[in-house]
């Protein structure tokens, strides 16, 4: 970019946010790709706004905008909920938009936000910028928003895949004053490690895996070390993926597409995964209408989808969204990946979970879920620390018996009573 062009497009964060009005709709880049400097300035200028609609994907984000005291200034419309927004949700400041992640780029086309607040790398010599840690829906957001404001952060990794765009797609550049958000790996519990060992028994050599994030996901990736020639096609790529790659387990040698490459739609982790991903030809970020598309997933042999649940009922319906009546997560990519695994030749759909919650006071295996995120027909196995329940091809009663067998012993009698009622 020439100097004149740069001067015309650069502003301070205060100047850029001053352009926003309450009657507009504003969408943020998702998860750890939220632009921290612009978010902070949005908060600084909150008194100017009355219920400014903010479309957000807060998974992994610190959700700095979610203070319920600011509910007269911001109306949060969430593509996924977060435990950090529980009180905002309870007070009517935040609400949830349910959808499958494969549809999110299309959702951006439908919404056509007035303003996009995103984060990019500095422009390169060819006049391009990179979206860094997320290609999920941000590419579609840039294409469909009327005004695109980009926080330029030289700490953001340039990641190969679909996230490189012309600088001319950006209307206003703002210099970053804060580092990108990070989410360091969580320390696994003994229960995580027990569940992980059972899950690893089910994953065959040469499988292409998808896995959720968090301490359980990290434990499962650790337990997979020693498998042969695994591939990865997933949503979020975390620090623990590096360890699996460096162990020689993750080669991608037998992937039917994107051979040899680790493919996801976003990075969720610490500076370690940022550094690993930086201009690494073995790692690609693609939009979620590619990474989560059932037709894409069906092309893999042995596609192994490993997802998590808050609870599951005796028929096998999965709740991955609510605690009681409170939304704490969302559909996310679970339905996409489970359906894709069912369509894959020799594919496997696994739900992994702790048998109990609240320090053992509540069984996660219940007679009936209040919210069904995923259906009983899209599961092969349910895994807890007590073992593996094989559900595929089983009658309703056989499935219930298998699930009771992997419930915590303290709750098996009550579950059996519910089954026989």
Q: Give the pLDDT confidence of 9-65 residue by residue, as tens digits.
A: 999 999 999 999 999 999 999 888 999 999 999 999 999 999 999 999 988 888 999
Is the predicted pLDDT of residue 181 greater than 50, yes or no? yes
> Do both 130 and 255 map to the same domain?
no
> Do both 296 and 240 map to the same domain?
yes
Q: Are strands 128-130 and 164-166 parallel, antiparallel or unpaired?
A: antiparallel
Structure tokens at 136: 């999920």
Q: In degrees rounded to 5, what are phi and psi of residue 267?
A: -105, 135
> Do both 135 and 201 map to the same domain?
no
Helices (H), 52-103: 86-90
Residue 327: in which H helix or E strand, if any? strand 326-327
| Residue finishing a domain among 119, 146, 175 | 175
Average pLDDT in the chain: 95
Whether 184 maps to a domain, the answer reads no
Please state the rounded mean pLDDT for residues 93-119: 96
Separate counts of helices (H) and strands (E) for the chain: 15, 27
Is the predicted pLDDT of residue 351 greater than 50, yes or no? yes
> Do both 216 and 261 map to the same domain?
yes
pTM: 0.95
Please state the rounded mean pLDDT for residues 142-164: 97
> Do both 37 and 147 map to the same domain?
yes
Whether 64 maps to a domain, the answer reads yes
> Do both 124 and 196 map to the same domain?
no
Find all residues with CB under 8 Å of 106, minimum gap 6, and list them. 140, 289
Give the residue among 34, 57, 41 at the shortest CA–CA distance from 180.
34
Structure tokens at 421: 């009622």
> Do both 120 and 7 map to the same domain?
yes
> Lowest-pLDDT range, 112-116, 313-317, 321-325, 367-371?
321-325
Report the pLDDT value the prediction gives residue 7, as an integer from 0 to 100: 52
Residue 220: in which H helix or E strand, if any? helix 215-223
pLDDT band at 4; cut points 50, 70, 90:
very low
Rounded to an integer, what distance in angstroms lies between the CA atom of residue 229 and that of residue 254? 7
Report the pLDDT value the prediction gives residue 61, as an integer from 0 to 100: 84
Whether 180 maps to a domain, the answer reads no
Angle between helices 396-405 and 409-420 (to 10 degrees): 160
Domain span at residue 281 reads: 190-420
> Lowest-pLDDT range, 4-8, 66-70, 232-236, 413-417?
4-8
Whether 391 maps to a domain, the answer reads yes
Helices (H), 227-278: 239-246, 271-277
> Do both 105 and 201 map to the same domain?
no
Q: Are strands 326-327 and 322-323 parallel, antiparallel or unpaired?
A: antiparallel
Find all residues with CB under 8 Å of 80, minimum gap 6, and list them. 57, 58, 59, 96, 329, 330, 331, 332
Please state the rounded mean pLDDT for residues 367-387: 96
Rounded to an integer, what distance in angstroms lies between the CA atom of residue 235 and that of residue 291? 7
Number of domains in the chain: 2
Give the residue among 308, 421, 316, 306 at the shortest CA–CA distance from 366.
316
Using alpha carbons only, how large is the chain's radius of gyration in Å?
22
> Lowest-pLDDT range, 82-86, 160-164, 186-190, 395-399?
82-86
pLDDT band at 350; cut points 50, 70, 90:
very high
> Do both 393 and 297 map to the same domain?
yes
Residue-wise pLDDT for 290-331, tens only, equals 999 999 999 999 999 999 999 999 999 999 999 888 888 999
Rounded to an integer, what distance in angstroms lies between the CA atom of residue 221 and that of residue 208? 13
Residue-wise pLDDT for 194-235, tens only, equals 999 999 999 999 999 999 999 999 999 999 999 999 999 999
Structure tokens at 151: 């926080």
Give the Å distances, CA to CA, from 15 to 9, 38, 310, 326, 393. Answer: 12, 10, 43, 38, 61
Rounded to an integer, what distance in angstroms lies between the CA atom of residue 419 and that of residue 34? 46
> Do both 68 and 199 map to the same domain?
no
User: In sequence order, what DSSP letters do the residues of 146-160 get, joined into one string?
Assistant: SEEEEEE-TTS----
> Do both 194 and 279 map to the same domain?
yes
Report the pLDDT value the prediction gives residue 97, as an integer from 0 to 100: 95
What percentage of the chain's residues is helix, strand, coil (to nearest 5)? 35, 25, 45
Q: Looking at residue 146, which CATH number applies to its domain?
A: 3.40.1080.10
Rounded to an integer, what distance in angstroms lies between the CA atom of residue 240 and that of residue 232? 12
Is the predicted pLDDT of residue 76 greater than 50, yes or no? yes
> Do both 151 and 211 map to the same domain?
no
| Residue finishing a domain among 175, 208, 243 | 175
Q: In degrees rounded to 5, what are phi and psi of residue 9?
A: -105, -10
């Amino acid at each position: 970019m020439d100097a004149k062009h740069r001067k015309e497009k650069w502003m301070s964060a205060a100047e850029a946010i001053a352009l926003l009005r309450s009657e507009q709709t504003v969408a943020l880049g998702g998860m750890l790709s939220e632009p921290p400097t612009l978010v902070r300035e949005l908060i600084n200028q909150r008194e100017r706004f009355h219920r400014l609609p903010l479309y957000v994907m807060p998974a992994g984000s610190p959700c700095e905008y979610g203070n319920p005291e600011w509910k007269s200034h911001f109306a949060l419309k969430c593509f996924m909920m977060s435990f950090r927004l529980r009180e905002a949700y309870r007070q009517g400041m935040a609400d949830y938009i349910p959808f499958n992640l494969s549809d999110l780029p299309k959702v951006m086309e439908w919404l056509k936000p007035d303003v996009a607040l995103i984060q990019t790398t500095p422009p390169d010599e060819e006049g391009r910028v990179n979206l860094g840690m997320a290609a999920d829906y941000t590419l579609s957001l840039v294409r469909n928003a009327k005004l695109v404001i980009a926080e330029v952060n030289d700490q953001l990794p340039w990641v190969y895949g679909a996230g490189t765009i012309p600088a001319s797609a950006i209307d206003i550049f703002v210099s970053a004053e804060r580092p990108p958000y990070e989410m360091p790996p969580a320390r696994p519990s003994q229960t995580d490690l027990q569940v992980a060992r059972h899950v690893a028994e089910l994953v065959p050599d040469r499988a292409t895996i998808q896995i959720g994030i968090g301490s359980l996901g990290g434990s499962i990736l650790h337990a997979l070390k020693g498998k042969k020639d695994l591939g990865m096609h997933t949503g979020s790529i975390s620090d623990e993926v590096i360890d699996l790659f460096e162990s020689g387990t993750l080669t991608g040698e037998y992937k039917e597409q994107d051979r040899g490459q680790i493919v996801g739609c976003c990075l969720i982790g610490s500076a370690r995964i940022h550094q690993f991903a930086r201009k690494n030809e073995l790692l690609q970020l693609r939009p979620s209408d590619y990474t989560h598309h059932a037709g894409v997933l069906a092309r893999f042999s042995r596609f192994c989808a490993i997802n998590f649940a808050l609870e599951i009922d005796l028929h096998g319906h999965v709740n991955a969204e609510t605690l009681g009546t409170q939304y704490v997560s969302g559909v996310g990519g679970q339905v996409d990946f489970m359906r894709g695994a069912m369509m894959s030749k020799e594919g496997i759909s696994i739900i992994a979970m702790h048998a109990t919650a609240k320090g053992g006071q509540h069984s996660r295996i219940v007679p009936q879920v209040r919210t069904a995120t995923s259906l009983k027909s899209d599961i092969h196995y349910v895994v807890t620390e007590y073992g593996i329940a094989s559900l595929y091809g089983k009658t309703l009663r056989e499935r219930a018996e298998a699930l009771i067998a992997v419930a915590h012993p303290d709750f098996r009698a009550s579950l059996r009573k519910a089954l026989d009622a």
